[in-house]
Structure 1
Amino acid sequence: MKKNMRSKWKFSLLLLSVLALSATAACSGSEAGKETADAEETGTATGNVPADGAKSGGPLGKYDPPITLRTTLTDKAKDSLDAGDTLENNVWTRGYERELGIKVTYDWIVEGSNAGEKMNLTLASGDLPDILAVNQAQYKQLLEAGQLADLTEVYEQHASDLVKQFYAMGADGLQPTKQDGKLYGLTYYSGSYDTSPMLWIRTDWMKQLNLDPPQTMDDVIAIAKAFTEQDPDRNGENDTYGLALNKGLTSGGDINPTGFMNGYHAYPGVWLEDESGALAYGSIQPEMRTALAKLRELYAGGYIDPEFGTKDLSKSAETVMAGRIGLFFGYMTSPFAVSGMMKDGSEADWLPYPIPSADDKPALVQNNIDYGEIFAVRKDYEHPEALIQLMNFQVEKSYGESSKSEAAASYFGKEGFAPVRLLQPNKNIGIYNHVVDALEVNDPSGLNIEETSYYDGIQSYRGGDRSAWWFERIFGPDSSQSIIQHYIDNDLIKLNEFVHPSTDTMTAKGATLGKLELETFVKIIYGQDPIEAFDQFVKNWKALGGDQMTKEVNQIAQ
């Protein structure tokens, strides 16, 4: 029974989709369920879409005669396939052909890590597939070469209300693919809420030392000092530290100082409006100097893991799980980084807290919109509306009315091998509210399949299954999503205001400037360079391309 439950938790974990996670979960249906899905037409595809792209038959109109469409795919979701299915022949490809009259073929299918290189070779060959799944740099290359179809009219004519609704959630989800008022692609828009930084603290250590939750950054620092000096694990050894970081700092994933810096009103790596109304780069502002000086002070005092500069995220997480760290700044997904220590017999526990402020001004947390892949159409393809049709179909099967049918359950959790896909932006905050409401009345009957899996996980954890701890800490009443709801309710989110493809200078010099930033910040924190090195860094950053980059950013953002 325990083995089956853990398989279920693995399934639910894969369903969770945020910043770095995508919904590619396995939802293995029976052969009978697959046959039902193949036999039953659950969509509303009754009309025809003529080759000239004129609106006919609604958002899910069917081609008659059918068309064949070339595209590409990565195999990252192959483990989610039902028995007997392949990446070329599965519930999505059969659904496209049956309900839309679109036969999807693949020029190539490669591992996710090889997709960028393979697409570069495809672009260089000049033999483009009909539908392109590209990164932002590749999209920019194609756009500047005039190789992409204008989708402005076909999107307005053919996109379903639900697709349009998703792209309007929280921001303009199509902003990066617009130029001169025209639309040239669809983004894999995920929203921004799940990128919100937050503070994670070992509450069992706080109880051991009779410490209260922090209200200010000074409180955070006091807790870090207590965790370092007062033997919170009661093993009689001087082997614990207050704060964990990793060597990538703000670019290193979880366990990084972004939230700490936000507490000092510093916003690394994002573009925000300055007092003049222009966009400015957060990492070079005076507030960043203040935050670095404080981190330098904490490191000198021995309150930060002294080896953080040699540890990537996985190594930093190992230090945390070894019981040597009491707090870190992370994200809504941080329970995954420490879940390995949630074993039977362990009393370890972590709770998330909002980022506190270093002064009397509220601490605003930075948010980034990750657009992921861009889906575009090669210029002169005779059916540009087919891209919109595929997107309508995937969104409808995953989130629309037809998603509630028994047959549509066969699509659930398999979006990873749909060649064109969009998850509901900021969906996790909605899941949290639904799950908490269901927990309050002990009735999950109103939840959908994904929400029910998280509800069941929380109940399993509360019943003693420590392996299900992360369900409670991501979707329970005292969870990372509850902190995000706090940010939303109190208007504490500060959104990165540059949401366009990289500028020319970003492409040419961004890596060099990023390396300069990281090396400078690490050396300052380590005490190898004085805090005045920040001032020289700002001058160097501007001279080496930062000023030109800032000019380009503001020209594009106008």
Structure 2
Amino acid sequence: MKRTKRVIVSIVVLCMVLLVLAACKRDTKDKTNDTVSDTNSKSDSSKISETVEDVDPFGKYDPAITITSVRDLPNPSIVKYPEGDDIENNVWTRTILEELGINVEYMWTVDSSQLSTRLNAMIAGGKLPDFFLVTGAQYQELREAELLADITYAYEAYASDLVKETINYGGKDVIDAVTQDGKMTALPTIASQEFGPMLWIRTDWLDNLNLPEPENLDDLLKVAEAFALEDPDGNGEKDTWGIPINGDTSGGLAWQLGFMNSMESYPNIWIDDGNGGLQYGSITEETKNALAKLNELCEKGVIDPEFVTRDYWANYDQITSGKYGIVYGPYYASISPLQPTVDADENAEWKAFPLLGKNGMAKMQQSVPLSGFWVISKDCENPEAVIKLLNFWYREFYESPNIDRYTKMINDGAEYTSIYSSTPIQSFLQFANLDAALVAKDVFDGKITENDMPPIAIQMYGDAKKYYDGDRSMWMWGKVYESLIDVMNQYKEKNFILADKNMAPPGDAMTSKFTSLYAMEMSMFAKIISGQASIDEFDSFVEEWKSTGGDEITAEINNWYKSR
């Protein structure tokens, strides 16, 4: 029961982070006309009579049109509707019909646990709605079966400035992922690039041991050793450790990922191989060096030798109970797991730093910059209507100028929560939370007033201000703000984010062999760190990884990468 509650709390916290801290208003404005009546079928460019200059990204259909979709149901523990509302009838569907003249009907809805199975069955049967969200593998299947609309012209003509800006920021890889033979056949679902690991350090422990803030990896290693061996909490007991590490258990490399990045190791993602292709980051020489260093720390007593039995949540409990003063985690680590340490100890204080490498700031890894594909059936009579829905989502979620409207559409008080999940289509900005923090900073610096903030930035500013005004219960939000301004902003400005470059649809080898290869990888990493295996065995692991499917997977990915 305890574990279940923790999982639910974490899901709620993450959803709150995505919602409350989302983004700021952009300066770009969409070119619009006063009125546009879209009544003609636009399933391909030959049917679109307007020029790009003539269309309105938010033009209303008169009479209204109906487009169909399918989806999973929002989590009822998170999304709370006013009486009478549900996924098919809510403030989003009603406002879209009223303002865009688009009636969205769902052919079916299912629990999220059944979505993948239901989608696969639907795709196999060939009876598709007008638009829906799919995975890379499903997108590839639909594209090869020629079931998707060519939306090249519709996108160019109807996509709003903010939509285009967001997709273009993803670069050539994102555009190539949805384009074949010059034809755009999907709208990419953009993923945040803010969730990579930062370095969090208990500065009160630094003060207790008269240690300066570290500036590079060597400095950090000295701090980690002192935190493990020199009683930083002053309780006279040997009960603290340097760096939390996952064993061969659930959670993967969550806790040690930032440390490995500091040594230029980027496991579990695909990176440049230096020869125009991609390689798997877990089998590089840099990863071998990182594992060797972690083993050295384990032998010195800096790492808890029982890490091999600890999964993500076991480490989480150790952190919240004050056993660690160094944690690698994202900007919202201050919410969980760090806020509990502050609640329990009035002297506890944490600060976010960039990852520290040999010569200072090190690159952080991120997941791929897209998380799915919004596809439009070739039989859809109005493919541009789906693009208008995406325009509407971005405008309402990120650029709404009206606080009352924003509240109604996004999160209507404590009773009706996460209403935004009812939108028929979603995608995100890469640095939404950083954008909001930068707006808040302008208010703190006196460059703009509170009245100049878009609604979505108000929460960021308000919560941080409460912390600065002395409310320690809001410590986590003050540190969210600071970590974004002081750390994430550096990563964006210096282009120090290394995103996974593998956006290829899973091939046969990836589908059938990667799971077992990953299990072998996690087992070997844990054995090397703990000393159960020599670091020399890493080379044998790499050869086995390659010969038992790794080379096949790499070939599949590089065939896609080089043919873009």
Q: Which TM bucket (shorter chain)?
A: 0.7 to 0.9
Distance 1:46 1:186, change over 3 A: same
Cα pair distance change 1:339/1:531, threshold 3 Å: same
Aligned residue identity for 1:226: A
The Cα shift of 1:555 comes to 2.0
What is the deviation of 1:81?
2.9
2 CA distance for matches of 1:490 and 1:155?
A: 31
Aligned partner of 2:521 in structure 1 is 517
* Runs of at least 5 residues in structure 1 that lack an aligned partner in the other structure: 1-9, 26-41
Q: Aligned equivalents of 2:394 and 2:319: distance in 1?
A: 39
2:63 aligned residue (57, 61, 65): 65
% identical equivalent positions: 34
Normalising by structure 2, report the TM-score. Answer: 0.85
Match in the other structure for 1:454:
460
After superposition, where does 1:180-259 map in structure 2 within 5 Å?
180-192=181-193, 194-247=194-247, 252=252, 254=254, 256-259=255-258
**In 2 relative to 1, CA 449–552 (structure 1 residues): closer, same or farther, beyond 3 Å?**
same
Partner of 2:474: 468
2:323 maps to 1:319: no
Which whole-Å deviations, capped at 9, do the CAs of 1:2-31 have from their partners, x for residues lacking one? xxxxxxxx99974532xxxx6799xxxxxx
Which residue pairs with 1:501 in the alignment?
Answer: 505
Deviations, residues 113-149 of structure 1 (Å, cap 9, x unaligned): 3322332333344332221212222222222333222
Gap change, CA 1:265 and 1:97, over 3 Å in 2 = same
Distance (whole Å) between structure 1 residues aligned to residue 36 and residue 494 of structure 2: 46
1:431 is aligned, of 421, 427, 436, to 436
Aligned equivalents of 1:372, 1:248: Cα separation in 2? 26
Mean CA deviation greater in 434-443 or 237-246? 434-443
How far does the alpha carbon of each residue in 1:308-341 deviate from its partner, in whole angstroms, 9 at most, with x for none?
3333322211110011111122222212222223
Q: State the alpha-carbon separation in 1 of the partners of residues 303 and 484 from structure 2.
A: 23
Separation in structure 2 between the aligned mates of residue 123 and residue 310 of structure 1, nearest angstrom: 42
**Offset of 1:269 from its aligned partner?**
1.8
Matches of 2:181 and 2:552, distance apart in 1: 22
- Residues 110-509 of structure 1: matches in 2 within 5 Å? 110-172=110-172, 173-192=174-193, 194-247=194-247, 252=252, 254=254, 256-335=255-334, 336-343=336-343, 346-358=346-358, 360=359, 363-400=362-399, 403-404=401-402, 406-407=404-405, 409-413=407-411, 414-441=419-446, 443-476=449-482, 479-509=483-513
Paired with 1:389 and 1:127, the residues of 2 have a C-alpha distance of 24
1:342 Cα deviation from its structure 2 partner: 2.8
User: What TM-score comes out, normalization by structure 1 length?
Assistant: 0.86
- In the other structure, the counterpart of 1:50 is 40
- State the Cα deviation string for residues 61-108 of structure 1 (Å, max 9, x = none): 233332222212333365243444221111110122112222111223
Q: Which amino acid aligns with 1:115?
A: L
Residue pair 2:249, 2:309 contacting (<8 A) in 1 also:
no
Q: For the Cα contact (< 8 Å) 2:21–2:432, is it kept in 1?
A: no
Q: Taking structure 1 as reference, are residues 253 and 268 closer, same or farther at Cα in structure 2, changes over 3 Å only?
A: closer
Distance 1:534 1:247, change over 3 A: same
Paired residues of 2:191 and 2:430 also in contact (CA < 8 A): yes
Report the Cα distance in structure 2 between the residues aligned to 1:302 and 1:68, rounded to whole angstroms: 65
CA contact (8 A) 1:175 1:499 kept: no
The Cα offsets for residues 408-466 of structure 1, whole Å up to 9 and x where unpaired, read as: 55223533211212223311221121112212339433222221112111122233333
Q: 1:17-56 CA distances to partner (integer Å, 9 max, x unpaired)?
A: 2xxxx6799xxxxxxxxxxxxxxxx996642241135155
Give SS of 1:531's match.
coil
8 A contact 1:403–1:409 mirrored in 2: no
Which SS does the other structure have where 2:518 is aligned? helix
Aligned-residue CA RMSD (Å): 2.8
- With over 3 angstroms needed to count, the CA separation of the structure-2 counterparts of 1:397 and 1:283, relative to structure 1, is same
Shift of 1:295: 0.5
Letter in 1 for 2:379: D
CA distance in 2: counterparts of 1:121 and 1:455, whole angstroms? 46
- Per the alignment, in what secondary structure is the counterpart of residue 106 of structure 2? strand
Kindly tell me: are residues 103 and 491 of structure 1, through their superposed partners in 2, closer, same or farther at Cα, counting changes over 3 Å? closer
Distance 2:155 2:199 in 1: 41
- Is the Cα–Cα contact under 8 Å of residues 266 and 287 in structure 2 kept in the other structure? yes
Instruction: Name the CA distance, whole Å, in 2 between partners of 1:408 and 1:237.
Output: 52
| Maintained 8 Å contact 2:202/2:349 | yes
Going from structure 1 to structure 2, the CA distance change for 1:238 and 1:12 (only over 3 Å counts) comes to closer
Q: CA deviation at 1:286?
A: 0.8
Structure 2 vs 1, CA of residues 451 and 405 (structure 1 numbering), >3 Å: closer, same or farther?
closer
Correspondence for 1:32: none
Distance in 1 (alpha carbons) for counterparts of 2:212 and 2:480: 22
- Paired with 2:547 and 2:319, the residues of 1 have a C-alpha distance of 39
Amino acid at match of 2:542: V
The equivalent of 1:5 in structure 2 is none
Which residue identity is paired with 1:473?
Answer: K
Q: Distance in 1 between matches of 2:188 and 2:228?
A: 45
Q: Over residues 350-380 of structure 1, what are the superposed CA-to-partner deviations in whole Å (9 max), with x where a residue is unaligned?
A: 111111113x486322233342232111232
Unaligned stretches of 5+ residues in structure 2: 1-10, 23-31, 412-418
- Contact 2:190 2:430 (8 Å CA) reproduced: yes
Q: Distance in 2 between matches of 1:482 and 1:114?
A: 41
Specify whether residues 142 and 253 from structure 1 end up closer, same or farther in structure 2 by C-alpha distance, changes over 3 A only: farther
Q: Give the equivalent residue in structure 1 for 2:6.
A: none
Distance in 1 between the 2:35 and 2:553 partners?
47
Query: CA, structure 1 residues 161+356, in 2 after alignment: closer, same or farther (shift >3 Å)?
Result: same
Paired letter, 1:177: V
- Alpha-carbon distance between aligned partners in 2 of 1:253 and 1:536, rounded to the nearest angstrom: 21
Partner residue, 2:29: none
For these two proteins, the number of residue pairs brought into alignment is: 523
The answer to whether the 8 A contact 1:73-1:106 is kept is: yes
Q: Find the residue that maps to 1:133 and give its secondary structure.
A: strand
Instruction: State the one-letter code of the partner of 1:188.
Output: T
Partner of 2:552: 548
Partner of 1:373, secondary structure, is: strand
Q: Which amino acid aligns with 2:455?
A: I
Conserved 8 A contact 1:52-1:383: yes
User: Against the structure 1 CA distance between its residues 512 and 12, is the aligned structure 2 distance closer, same or farther, given a 3 Å change threshold?
Assistant: closer
CA distance in 1, matches of 2:560, 2:466: 50
Do the aligned residues in 2 keep the contact of 1:191 with 1:369 (CA within 8 Å)? no
Cα distance in 2 for residues equivalent to 1:454 and 1:481: 12
Tell me, in whole angstroms, the C-alpha distance in 1 between the residues paired with 2:402 and 2:90.
20
Q: Deviations over 1:513-551 (max 9, x none)?
A: 211211111111111111112101110111112222222
Q: Distance in 2 between matches of 1:153 and 1:376?
A: 15
Q: CA deviation at 1:292?
A: 0.3
Cα distance in structure 2, aligned partners of 1:459 and 1:215: 29
